[in-house]
Amino acid sequence: MKFRNPIVKGFYPDPSVCKANDKYYLVCSSFHYYPGVPLFESDDLVNWRQIGHCLTRQSQVYLENIESSGGVFACNIRYDNGRFYMTTTNNSTQQNFYVWTDDIYGEWSEPINVDQGGIDPSFYFEGNSTYFMSNGIDENGRNSIFQCEIDIETGEKLTPSRVIWHGTGGRYLESPHLYKINDLYYLMAAEGGTEYGHMIIYARGDSPYGPFEAYLNNPVLTNRNLGGYEIQGVGHGELIQDHHGNWWIFHLGFRQIGRWIMHHHLGREVFLMPVTFHQDKWFTVGSDGTTQDEVEIMHIPNTTKQIEQTQYTFHNTKWDIDWCYLRYPDKANYIAQESELKLRSSLITLDMANSPTFIGLRQRDFHVEISCEIRVNDGEAGITLYMDENHHYDFALRKSGNTIEAIKRLNIGDIKSIHKQSIINSNIATLKITSNHETYSFQVISDGKVIDLGFAQTRYLSSEVAGGFTGVVIGLYAQDGTCSEFNDFNDFICTYLDE
Ligand code: 6LW
């Protein structure tokens, strides 16, 4: 069959995958968004459906007032002895921890802390032993992978943390994962940082502690030399054998816009590439160690079809699965029903690194049409294209006294300006945003009339401008009111269009 990358679109970075029973499970980092750690299920590795999150209670993850792109960093999911484990770092509290569940569709445990620093923690289970590794800097200032053994019931360290590898000398040695394949231990990691120099490297050895011999042709995967190619920043990967014996790497990457001065605003997404093990027991990725947008593969039958959801509405999404909040929300400000959403403003605005009244879906592709009928009863109610508190485009109805205005406000760093506004006769209107690679366009439909509020560039919401580790989220929000009345959101439709 032929499949297209990315395999999961939109801001779903740092994929980790495991198999259990006859299915596959994938988790991603979530930073300051709540619930934490989106969890997906698949039957065939190509089609993924979100089934929940691992961190669904405030007691599991501290997110209060944390900075954007702080919080939950890269995660690792493993299945051992009938139990699922997910380990991650809360980078804002600098704590590595894990949670577990015996029911993948149910709740996960309270967090169990592990006293080893660094980010990108990961498990390797063998017999009764649990190896726990993460990145760090050794006493000589070198990038390192540290490993210890823990008691999986309590998280207690059973051995001191030891350096097991220094990588190949690239900057930001991250995402260590250990696998035992045909009696050899393979340690795979990323280097180069999560931007344009990103890459996957690996080494192998005879024991979980090494010594590890690096693959001679590292990096085994990178797109850093593919100037002008859309897919960039590939790295941070997971190696997995499917139920039929074939090997794959899931990894992150992003889709850049522009050839020379590039930008990307959809965040880091999930990509899939086939892996071949050779007679000498070293492996390679794809045909030339790069990630391609279209992959033709014989060992997935043609009967497997890659099916993409192109429309997201209040009816075909679930509030607690598909949607997300900024940090821990004040649920009293939300009434979310099957066909309708009501939001009440709080004193917190979208400009604050806090939890404004906001509920969002990730923007998954460039060409999208978003529309929603909004009735403003108090303050400002609208749609925001949200990168972080300093970079967001807000499109809203605003009520002051008896006057109702439709506004488009651009927030780009320190520049915050209402760029266009128009007085309308009613407090109900449909707001419509259309986007392509380069621009978002904004239209208000009120009383049967279409009012054009112009456009804004995608570039200023990109990672290159805003920084951070996330991507654009399409948020419905309310702010700046008296915090008394709810505003109504109806007929939300987000449709992805062919280019
Ligand atoms: C993550 C690290 C990385 O923990 O970015 O691309 C960090 N890799 O491994 C945040 O996602």
Triad 43, 48, 52: Cα angle to 5°: 105
| Cβ of residue 13 lying under 6 Å from some atom of ligand 1 | yes
| Regions of the chain short of the pLDDT cut 50 | none
Looking at ligand 1, which residue's alpha carbon is closest to its atom 8?
Answer: 194
Q: Give me ligand 1 centre to Cα 96, in Å.
A: 14
| Cβ of residue 469 lying under 6 Å from some atom of ligand 1 | yes
Query: Of 235, 269, 296, at which residue does a domain stop?
Result: 296
Same domain, yes or no, for 395 and 282?
no
Known catalytic residues? 14, 174
Same domain, yes or no, for 155 and 9?
yes
Looking at ligand 1, which residue's alpha carbon is closest to its atom 1?
Answer: 74
The three state secondary structure string of the chain is CEEECCCECCCCCCCEEEEECCEEEEECCCECEECEEEEEEECCCCCCEEEEEEECCHHHCCCCCCCCCCCECCCEEEEECCEEEEEEEECCCCEEEEEEECCCCCCCCCCEEECCCCCCCEEEEECCEEEEEEEEECCCCCEEEEEEEECCCCCCECCCCEEEECCCCCCCCEEEEEEEECCEEEEEEEECCCCCCCEEEEEEECCCCCCCEECCCCCCECCCCCCCCCEEEEEEEEEEECCCCCEEEEEEEEECECCCCCECCCCCEEEEEEEEECCCCCEEECCCCCCCCEEECCCCCCCCCCCCCCEEECCCCCCCCCCEEECCCCHHHEEECCCEEEEECECCCCCCCCCCEEEEEECCCCCEEEEEEEECCCCEEEEEEEEECCEEEEEEEEEECCEEEEEEEEEECCEEEEEEEEEECCCEEEEEEEECCCEEEEEEEECCEEEEEEEEEHHHHCHHHHCCCCCCEEEEEEECCCCCCEEEEEEEEEEECCC
Domain for residue 407, yes or no?
yes
Q: Give me ligand 1 centre to Cα 71, in Å.
A: 12
Same domain, yes or no, for 276 and 164?
yes
Query: Of 240, 263, 296, at which residue does a domain stop?
Result: 296
Same domain, yes or no, for 339 and 388?
yes
What is the Cα 193 distance to its own chain's centre?
16
| Cβ of residue 73 lying under 6 Å from some atom of ligand 1 | yes
Same domain, yes or no, for 348 and 474?
yes
- What are the backbone angles phi and psi of residue 382, rounded to the nearest 5°? -170, -160
Domain for residue 306, yes or no?
no
Tell me what pLDDT residue 165 has: 98
CA distance 161 to 132: 9
Domain for residue 267, yes or no?
yes
Same domain, yes or no, for 212 and 359?
no
Tell me what pLDDT residue 332 has: 97
Triad 314, 319, 320: Cα angle to 5°: 160
Domain for residue 139, yes or no?
yes
Select from 89, 122, 174, 268 the residue to mutate for testing ligand 1; criterion: most ligand atoms less than 8 Å from CB: 174
Q: Token digits for 34? A: 């709540």
CATH number for position 414: 2.60.120.200
Domain for residue 263, yes or no?
yes
Same domain, yes or no, for 161 and 250?
yes
Tell me what pLDDT residue 299 has: 82
| Nearest C-alpha neighbor of 97 from the set 106, 110, 87, 107 | 87
CA distance 401 to 378: 9
> What's the structural domain count of the chain?
2
| Cβ of residue 194 lying under 6 Å from some atom of ligand 1 | yes
Domain for residue 274, yes or no?
yes
Q: Give me ligand 1 centre to Cα 417, in Å.
A: 33
Q: Give me ligand 1 centre to Cα 416, in Å.
A: 30
Domain holding 127, by residue range, is 2-296
Q: Burial-class residue 414 by CB neighbours within 10 Å (0-12, 13-18, 19+).
A: exposed
CATH number for position 141: 2.115.10.20
CA distance 14 to 158: 28
Query: Of 296, 327, 353, at which residue does a domain stop?
Result: 296
Select from 67, 92, 194 the residue to mutate for testing ligand 1; criterion: most ligand atoms less than 8 Å from CB: 194
Same domain, yes or no, for 80 and 122?
yes
| Cβ of residue 251 lying under 6 Å from some atom of ligand 1 | no
| Cβ of residue 88 lying under 6 Å from some atom of ligand 1 | no
Q: Give me ligand 1 centre to Cα 134, in Å.
A: 12
Same domain, yes or no, for 273 and 396?
no
Same domain, yes or no, for 75 and 176?
yes
Atom of ligand 1 nearest to the CA of 119: 4
Q: Token digits for 254? A: 């992003």
Same domain, yes or no, for 114 and 183?
yes
CA distance 118 to 116: 7
Same domain, yes or no, for 278 and 334?
no
Q: Give me ligand 1 centre to Cα 448, in Å.
A: 47
CA distance 174 to 297: 29
CA distance 171 to 159: 28
Domain for residue 301, yes or no?
no
Domain for residue 305, yes or no?
no
pLDDT digits (tens, 9 = 90+) for 353-383: 999 999 999 999 999 999 999 999 999 999 9
